[in-house]
Structure 1
Amino acid sequence: MKKISEVMTRDAKVVNPNDTIQNAAKLMKECDCGVLPVGEGDRLVGMITDRDIAVRCIADGKGPNSKVRDAMTQEVKYCFEDEDISHVCTNMSEIQVRRLPVVDRNKRLVGIVSLSDLVRQSAGTAKALHGIARPSQHHNQSSATA
């Protein structure tokens, strides 16, 4: 069985919790991504998404000089680099995420794995995609009124 280390992206961009929201947004623009691991040294301390910036900063009137720590999610789901791809696919499906930071057994950040990384693999990808893409009760827009 293939391991996550064989398909993950090793050069994941990382932002520091003391960086500004503007710097995080610029980094997202540069790498054309909507999520960044937040790290202090090689320790994963959170994740920040473009949605976090919109909802936790901009919507609350916080400016571009706000700190990443003010918008990041501290509870981070992750996987280990030596886990089987099929296990990680199942996990991503269950928790409905499209990206997971990858850590070594000392919990040091070594990369990130995305759904697109997994799409290149056949085993488990359809199952993961089905679980990740299922409608959420919280974001169902089908009942919206005009």
Structure 2
Amino acid sequence: MKVSEAMTAQVATAGPADSVQKVAGIMLSIETGAVPIVEDDKVVGLITDRDIVLQVVAKGGALTTPASDVMSGDVQTCKEDDNLADAAAQMAHHQIRRLVVANDAGKLVGILSLGDIAVDYGAKVVGKTLEEISTDNDA
């Protein structure tokens, strides 16, 4: 099965200068926990609800803080025609729950989450991937 068959293709994005409050509003409106940050049609970061809580709310920061100050800049990606099992292995290796999906030109075409894999690929793969994500590699 290919990534394109399981990914979420309708993805809302924000820009690096958008406030974390705007990003949180996007999350609320589409019921997601992650928003890609896009500049010039390229993904430059990813901001999660957890990023907002830990880096802004917990530190008493301003809701006007730009997304670029909070986002993760090292975004793991895969291609829409990649094998779903390979994408799941990539998630496990990097201990992440989402991959940004790009086309050959590097343009955002979707997001692949563990939930997407669970629905379309099976709980067994998700369980194994989640187990590997949760493993403490520093021990």
TM-score, length of structure 1 as denominator length:
0.84
Query: Is the Cα contact below 8 Å between 2:118 and 2:125 reproduced in 1?
Result: no
AA aligned to 1:120 is: V
Residue-by-residue CA offset, 1:97-143 (whole Å, 9 max, x unaligned)? 221110012211111111121112336x52343232453449xxxxx
Query: Bigger CA drift: 34-43 or 15-24?
Result: 34-43
Deviations 1:7-38 (A, max 9, x none): 21111111111101100011111111111111
Query: Hey, what's the Cα distance between the residues in 1 that align with 2:131 and 2:48?
Result: 18
> Which has the higher Rg, Structure 1 or Structure 2?
1
Aligned to 1:130: 128
How many residue pairs were aligned?
A: 136
Give unpaired runs (5+ residues) of structure 2: none
What are structure 1's unaligned runs of at least 5 residues?
139-146
1:112 corresponds to which residue? 111
- Indicate if the aligned counterparts of 1:38 and 1:48 stay in contact, CA closer than 8 A: yes
Counterpart-to-counterpart distance in 2, 1:59 and 1:29: 19
Asked if the contact 2:88/2:129 (under 8 Å) is kept, the reply is no
User: How much identity, in percent, do the aligned residues show?
Assistant: 32
Partner Cα distance (1:121, 1:29) in 2: 25
Conserved? CA contact 1:20–1:67, under 8 Å = yes
Closer, same or farther: CA 64–74 of 1 in aligned 2, 3 Å: same
Q: Higher helix share goes to which structure?
A: 2
* 1:37-86 per-position Cα deviation (integer Å, ceiling 9, x unaligned): 11113210000011111111122321111110110011111111110111
